[in-house]
Amino acid sequence: MVKKLAREFYLQDTLTAAKELLGHFLVRVDAQGEAICGMITETEAYIGATDKACHAYGGRRTPRTEPLFAAGGISYVYLIYGMYHCFNVVTEAENVPSAVLVRGVAIVSGQEAAAQNRYGRSFAALTPKQRRDMSNGPGKLCRALAIDKSLNRADLRGEELFIAEEFEGRKRTAAPMITSKRIGIDYAEEAKDFPWRFQQATEPLKERM
DNA sequence: TTCAGGATGTACT
DNA sequence: GTACATCCTGAAC
């Protein structure tokens, strides 16, 4: 049983969507038809209208930022630092550039395929540290789920990549949430202090804040 | 255990 | 030319 999130979910307020996405399942079906499913554990909101950290701040519209201006419900994937991809969920109405960056997921099924994508070796051969670090960062989760620019603008209710509230018998469970400042955006002046980072406190977080 | 530095493509000045 | 929503490695503590 798979319950994909309704289109309306993506049209709502970005901060609400960022919090609500925690605990939902990000599912990637690769070229072999194999599903990798990760529970979303960390997100950040990027809201173009007020947010200097957002690529589309002030209505900056380029070929790269174009997906941010579309109506919610598609992906925005881009390359950062020349070698890593970041996966975002586009939110809100058309011409309102805003999105939720998915910073971390916990792989709940398809571990074998994810381990191959990430490390090129079988899951059984991974060290505990490698298993822990499989997908706890935006660049890492994209590698584990084989997300690259070919999935930019993908429909998040489609077949290759989608977000579900229920997947293969797993349902979303409510969990305590941690709110904090976003990281890696020191250039964004006052916007860098916005408390727009959300983590689900299911497993022990080795965060030092 | 923490830290600095390198890899690297794309957008923008 | 510069900066960037990162990750990994290896060296020092």
- For the record, the structure tokens of A162 come out as 């989608």
Contacts of A45 (CB under 8 A, 6+ apart): A14, A15, A17, A18, A98, A100, A101, A196, A198
Tell me how far the alpha carbon of residue A173 is from its chain's centroid.
18
CA A127 – C1' B1 distance (Å)?
19
Q: How confident is the prediction along chain A (209 residues), in pLDDT tens digits per residue?
A: 899 999 999 999 999 999 999 999 999 998 888 999 999 999 999 999 899 999 999 888 998 999 999 999 999 999 999 899 999 999 999 999 999 999 999 999 999 999 999 999 899 999 889 999 999 999 999 999 999 999 999 999 999 999 999 999 999 988 899 999 999 898 898 999 999 999 997 654 444 33
Closest to A102 (Cα-Cα) out of A7, A27, A204: A27
CA A159 – C1' B8 distance (Å)?
31
Q: Which nucleotides of C are covered by protein (CB under 7 A)?
A: 3-8
Task: Give nearest nucleotide to A88 (CA–C1').
Answer: C5
Task: Give nearest nucleotide to A51 (CA–C1').
Answer: C5
- For the record, the structure tokens of A184 come out as 């890696």
- The neighbouring-strand residues paired with A75 are A89
Strand C closer than 7 A to residue A54 Cβ: yes
Strand B closer than 7 A to residue A64 Cβ: yes
Go through A7-17 and write b for each residue having 16 or more CB atoms within 10 A of its CB, e for each that does not: eebbbeebbeb
The whole-model pTM stands at 0.93
| SS3 category, A13 | coil
CA A137 – C1' C7 distance (Å)?
9
Strand B closer than 7 A to residue A82 Cβ: yes
Whether the Cβ atoms of residue A163 and residue A25 lie closer than 8 Å to each other: yes
Alpha-carbon distance A91 to A82, whole Å? 25
Contacts by A125-131, CB closer than 8 A, 24 or more apart: none
Strand B closer than 7 A to residue A209 Cβ: no
